[in-house]
């Protein structure tokens, strides 16, 4: 009989969350910190030492020996540097475990190995990390032992954002400011903050590690060069509601328990359309915590997969002829505990704000595509017939357009943005998606008539007549649209925009020079 897991008992056990703060901090300090988190303000330096001391004691009691300012640089998934809590030994050779407010709030790592955008001079080869107190600190247990992870933002010596979290923080702040301005125009004087909520649907492939190691195409190029069409009649084998295999079940059991300990509300897990493909859904949360949860999930799932002799891949289209992996973004806006996307007076139960938000996402969909679908391989997923959108349209029912309005209403009213894929960085993807929706609200854009047809079966002439545009067909097209977008440049800032263009241009050029197995198979022995 397997070990019984008490979810309420373990949930958030490894997170320095509100419960832990309330128990360990003086009331006055807790109130100030709570207000800082709720208002999105800067941490008062006067309480930093008290918070740091409480956080250190909490972590050490659970076996922590080191702490790390954890951030998401412009390349890779995460970055970290570990510092021990120990102090300089005294005359008796004893050490005291120390952690100051200064160490909590700010770090000064060597930034020479991170993309500082050509700003790096020898005397400026450093960056600064700043604790984002809206993202709770947590403990990670692995072969290194137990480490206290402190979520931070990362900037260069001259102040340029070098991480992927900062654009999202700025987008959330912009939404709050502009939404409040609009509310004041309509006579609302009581609301003080508008918070975007997001529910992600993160898909991924899980394959045997030994089989992965035999796939040189995946290892060396990060893209599939071969595959096979799925046989018909296997819908209840590895698909959707098919039974989860014991080996995968053991992996998911450990994954769920680890996520719950970290306070990540992993809610739903199931097989996806393609063989070996899986999906995990999180409970709705504010946009920043959602992005944190996605990165935490990616961080953890690869580690646990290896423990089970598996390999987890977030490559959007690893196998030819089957569905790829998306990261659908379910978005809504809330004020005073009420979902402002809901309107029972409307025939569809959707508010004007929701329609405007939807139209904004559609307006900027092609400009954002390089962010939401960032790889060469991403565009192998965006093809007709594989449950990924190809056209910029919306529907209250079917899943072929770019945006779907799920059936839930009231507090569950939301729009589902379906083009983002599993490789998209959640901070950047949410930043541009929310900003696009905000632009729609500000300009009062309308999305047009919702499509009730299967977009994959519509002729090009029919789409043109209906005013339906298509998403970029490859990374080159997405790159050119992105490069010409003054909107994206203003949104992301010159530094991130230019370095992103530089990186993606290099990626496309590298891809153009690569001779794929498909070309070998089709041309080598025939020409």
Mind listing the pLDDT tens digit of every residue in the chain (527 residues)? 467 778 788 888 888 988 999 999 999 999 888 888 877 667 778 888 898 889 888 998 888 888 888 877 655 556 666 677 766 556 665 657 778 888 887 766 555 444 444 444 434 445 677 888 888 888 888 766 788 888 888 877 666 777 777 778 778 878 888 888 887 877 787 777 777 877 777 776 777 777 777 766 666 555 444 444 433 343 334 444 344 567 777 887 788 788 888 877 765 655 565 666 677 677 777 888 888 888 888 888 888 888 888 888 888 888 887 788 888 888 888 888 888 888 888 878 888 898 999 999 999 999 999 999 999 999 998 888 777 888 888 888 677 788 888 877 888 888 889 989 988 988 889 889 999 998 999 899 988 887 777 777 777 777 777 778 889 999 999 999 999 999 999 888 888 899 999 999 999 999 999 888 888 888 887 78
Q: Can you name the CATH fold of 170-524? A: Creatine Kinase; Chain A, domain 2 (3.30.590)
- Cα 128 to its chain centre, rounded Å, is 22
Question: CA 443 to CA 463: how far, in whole Å?
Answer: 25
Q: Output the DSSP codes for 18-62.
A: HHHHHHHS-HHHHHHHHHHHHHT-PPPHHHHHHHHHHHHHHHHHT
Closest to 64 in 3D by CA, of 151, 152, 140: 140
Closest to 414 in 3D by CA, of 366, 371, 354: 354
CA distances from 341 to 345, 430, 441 (A): 12, 18, 12
- Determine whether 133 is exposed, middle or buried from the number of CB atoms within 10 Å of its CB (0-12, 13-18, 19+): buried
Q: Output the DSSP codes for 164-196.
A: SHHHHHHHHHHHHHHHHHHHHHTT--S---EEE
Contact 405, 415 (CB under 8 A): yes
Contact 351, 339 (CB under 8 A): no
Question: CA 438 to CA 179: how far, in whole Å?
Answer: 8
Question: CA 461 to CA 331: how far, in whole Å?
Answer: 32
What are the backbone dihedrals phi and psi of residue 357, each rounded to the nearest 5 degrees, phi first? -60, -45
What are the backbone dihedrals phi and psi of residue 177, each rounded to the nearest 5 degrees, phi first? -65, -45
196 has which bridge partners?
Answer: 333
Question: For the chain, what percentages of helix, strand and coil (3-state, to nearest 5) are there?
Answer: 40, 20, 40
Domain ranges of the chain: 7-162, 170-524
Question: CA 142 to CA 203: how far, in whole Å?
Answer: 24
Cα dihedral 470, 475, 479, 482 sign: positive
CATH 3.10.20.70 fits 7-162, yes or no: yes
> Helix (H, G, I), strand (E, B), or coil: what is residue 394?
strand
Helix axes 287-307, 246-261, angle to 10 degrees: 140
Count of helix runs (H) and strand runs (E) in the chain: 19, 18
Contact 89, 99 (CB under 8 A): no
């Amino acid at each position: 009989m397997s070990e019984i897991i008490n979810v309420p008992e373990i949930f958030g056990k490894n997170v320095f969350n509100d419960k832990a703060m309330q128990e360990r901090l003086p009331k006055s300090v807790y109130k100030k910190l709570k207000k800082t988190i709720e208002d999105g303000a800067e941490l008062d330096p006067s309480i930093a030492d008290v918070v740091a001391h409480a956080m250190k004691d909490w972590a050490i009691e659970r076996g922590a020996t080191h702490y790390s300012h954890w951030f998401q640089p412009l390349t890779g998934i995460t970055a970290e540097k570990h510092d021990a809590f120990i102090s300089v030994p005294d005359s008796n050779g004893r050490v005291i475990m120390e952690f100051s407010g200064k160490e909590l709030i700010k770090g000064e790592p060597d930034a020479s190995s991170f993309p500082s955008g050509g700003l790096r001079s020898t005397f400026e080869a450093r960056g600064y990390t700043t604790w984002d107190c809206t993202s709770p600190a947590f403990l990670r247990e692995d072969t290194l032992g137990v480490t206290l992870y402190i979520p931070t933002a990362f900037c260069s010596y001259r102040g340029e954002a070098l991480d992927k979290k900062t654009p999202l923080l700025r987008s959330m702040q912009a939404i709050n400011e502009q939404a409040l301005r609009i509310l004041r125009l309509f006579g609302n004087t009581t609301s003080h903050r508008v918070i975007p909520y997001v529910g992600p649907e993160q898909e991924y492939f899980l394959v045997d590690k030994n089989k992965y190691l035999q796939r040189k195409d995946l290892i060396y190029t990060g893209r599939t060069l071969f595959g096979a069409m799925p046989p018909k009649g296997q819908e209840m084998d590895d698909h959707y509601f098919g039974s989860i295999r014991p080996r995968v079940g053991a992996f998911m059991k450990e994954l769920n328990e680890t996520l719950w300990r970290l306070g990540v509300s992993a809610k739903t897990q199931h097989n996806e359309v393609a063989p070996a493909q899986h999906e995990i859904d999180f409970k709705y949360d504010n946009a920043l915590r959602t992005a944190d949860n996605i990165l935490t999930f990616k961080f953890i799932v690869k580690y646990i997969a290896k423990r089970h002799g598996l390999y987890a891949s977030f490559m959007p289209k690893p196998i030819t002829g089957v569905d790829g992996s998306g990261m659908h973004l379910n978005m809504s806006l809330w004020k005073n505990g009420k979902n402002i996307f809901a309107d029972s007076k409307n025939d569809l139960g959707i508010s004007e704000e929701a329609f405007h938000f939807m139209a904004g996402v559609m307006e900027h969909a092609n400009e954002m595509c390089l962010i939401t679908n960032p790889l060469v391989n991403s565009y192998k997923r965006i093809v007709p017939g594989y449950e990924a959108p190809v056209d910029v349209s919306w529907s209250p029912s079917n899943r072929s357009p770019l945006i779907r309005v799920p059936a839930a209403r009231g507090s569950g009213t939301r729009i589902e943005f379906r083009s983002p894929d599993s490789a998209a960085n959640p901070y950047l993807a949410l930043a541009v998606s929310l900003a696009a929706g905000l632009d729609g609200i500000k300009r009062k854009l309308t999305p047009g008539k919702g499509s009730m047809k299967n977009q994959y079966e519509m002729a090009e002439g029919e789409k043109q007549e209906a005013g339906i545009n298509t998403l970029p067909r490859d990374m080159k097209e997405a790159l050119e649209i992105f490069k010409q977008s003054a909107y994206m440049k203003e949104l992301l800032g010159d530094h991130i925009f230019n370095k992103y263009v530089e990186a993606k241009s290099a990626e496309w050029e590298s891809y153009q020079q690569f001779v794929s197995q498909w070309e070998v198979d089709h041309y080598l022995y025939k020409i």
